[in-house]
């Protein structure tokens, strides 16, 4: 049976409306899942009622994570936040973990997960993190921007069977101090954390790059979506 995957919506400040990049949906569909965009402005209880019918959770990219979620005040270089997402996504994540539903976090998703476990973030990499890597690439996004080194023996290594892959990159925040509960699975050449997992759960994995932009041309991105959807079937 095709698993139903809950997808957290993106938010358009100008239009005051939810929206979605097709890559998130198509990546799930091509891996055999049924993606469902969750509401954002409904009461939490209503959203959780919808989530009860789902088999997994995809935490998408988008707005900056509110620094208040990791105990900091917002600095000038921090980008726009989305109070709607900052409110409902922690509730959804907690429900998924409690019910042993697989979770895949992408970009903002990895940052949110780290913050929820007590880790913190660079609010703005260009001003807070010294690196020769440009982590915020220009279009097209389906190409390699830099490389990441995968920890041998990690779930990501077991999945991809390689210690180094090329990834795209479109973010200006990043993981600073990684929460103790999380296991670092990959880092960029500048040391920035690029992938984590929750070791004691069936499937809680998050990456800083964007497999939704290049899964059609990149086998590693397809494998990530496929592993997530397959975990949701069990």
What is the per-residue pLDDT across 136-176, written as a single tens digit (0 to 9) for each? Answer: 999 999 999 999 999 999 999 999 999 999 999 999 999 99
Put simply, whether the predicted model's pTM sits higher than 0.85 gets the answer yes
Distances (CA, A) of 190 to 134, 147, 193: 10, 10, 9
181 is catalytic: no
CB 208 within 8 A of CB 193: yes
Model confidence pLDDT, tens digit, residues 72-128: 999 999 999 999 999 999 999 999 999 999 999 999 999 999 999 999 999 999 999
> How far is residue 29's CA from residue 168's CA, in Å, rounded to a whole number?
21
Specify burial of residue 34 (Cβ count, 10 A radius: 0-12, 13-18, 19+): middle
Is there a contact between 190 and 83 (Cβ–Cβ < 8 Å)?
no
Cβ burial of 91 (10 Å; 0-12, 13-18, 19+) is middle
Q: 73: which DSSP letter?
A: P
User: Pick the catalytic residue: 54, 210, 226, 232?
Assistant: 210
| Active-site position among 89, 194, 212, 226 | 212
Asked about 14 being catalytic, the answer comes back as no
Catalytically annotated residue among 54, 78, 82, 107 = 107
* Tokens, residue 52: 């009860």
171: left (phi over 0), alpha (psi -120 to 50) or beta: beta
pLDDT tier, 234 (very low <50, low <70, confident <90, very high otherwise):
confident
* DSSP of 2-34: PPEEEEPPEEETTTTEEE--HHHHHHHHHTT-E
């Amino acid at each position: 049976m095709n698993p139903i995957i809950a997808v957290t919506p993106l938010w358009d400040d100008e239009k005051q409306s939810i929206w979605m990049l097709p890559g998130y949906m198509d990546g799930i569909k091509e891996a055999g899942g049924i993606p469902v965009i969750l509401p954002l402005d409904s009461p939490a209880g209503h959203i959780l009622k919808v989530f009860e019918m789902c088999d997994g959770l995809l935490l998408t990219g988008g707005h900056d994570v509110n620094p208040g979620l990791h105990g900091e005040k917002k600095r000038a270089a921090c980008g726009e936040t989305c109070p709607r997402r900052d409110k409902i996504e922690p509730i959804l994540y907690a429900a998924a973990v409690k019910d042993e539903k697989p979770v895949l976090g992408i970009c903002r998703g990895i940052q949110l997960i780290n913050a929820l476990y007590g880790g913190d973030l660079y609010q703005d990499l260009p001003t807070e993190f010294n690196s020769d890597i440009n982590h915020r690439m220009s279009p097209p996004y389906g190409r390699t921007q830099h490389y990441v080194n995968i920890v041998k023996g990690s779930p990501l290594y077991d999945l991809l069977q390689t210690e180094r892959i090329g990834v795209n990159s479109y973010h200006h925040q990043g993981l600073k101090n990684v929460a103790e509960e999380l296991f670092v699975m990959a880092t960029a050449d500048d040391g920035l954390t690029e992938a984590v997992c929750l070791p004691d759960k069936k499937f809680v994995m998050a990456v800083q790059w964007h497999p939704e932009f290049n899964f059609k041309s990149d086998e590693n991105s397809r494998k990530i979506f496929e592993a997530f959807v397959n975990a949701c079937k069990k």
